Amino acid sequence: MKAKNIFENIPLKVEEEIFEKLLVKKNIRIERIISKGNVTKEDFWYDQDENEWVIVLQGEAKLLFEGREEVLLKKGDYINIPLHVKHRVEWTNPAKETIWLAVFY
């Protein structure tokens, strides 16, 4: 067994959001997501068949939920997104990487 570090191997350029699967089991998936100024395409909403619990480990982001106000997430902030709640990433800090840990269940 070897330990890994969530803050290692961050690319110098993040042109598109990076999704890395860290753990995949029958009823759970854990991903590291790296953003730097990335947002969801304007005409797209995530509408997932699973719940998502997400925490911002570094950086900042704004999530928009359909029909609701934006939610600002800063370092240490987390949110649970129930399945089929439509949402999108409206903003991530363009000056510094935003590192998310997402747990899909």
* Domains within the chain, CATH numbers bracketed: 18-104 (2.60.120.10)
For residue 46, give Cα distances in angstroms to 85, 90, 99.
Answer: 8, 12, 19
Q: What is the pLDDT of residue 1?
A: 92
Position of tokens 């690319």? Answer: 11
Q: What is the pLDDT of residue 44?
A: 97
Q: What is the pLDDT of residue 66?
A: 96
Q: What is the pLDDT of residues 18-39, one digit of tens each?
A: 999 999 999 999 999 999 999 9
Alpha-carbon span 20 to 65, nearest angstrom: 24
Residue 13 has pLDDT above 90, yes or no: no
Q: What is the pLDDT of residue 74?
A: 98
Which one, of 20, 18, 29, 5, lies nearest residue 97 by Cα? 18
Maximum Cα interatomic distance, the chain, rounded to a whole number of Å: 46
Q: What is the pLDDT of residue 12?
A: 83
Alpha-carbon span 105 to 89, nearest angstrom: 20
Q: What is the pLDDT of residues 26-84, one digit of tens each?
A: 999 999 999 999 999 999 999 999 999 999 999 999 999 999 999 999 999 999 999 99
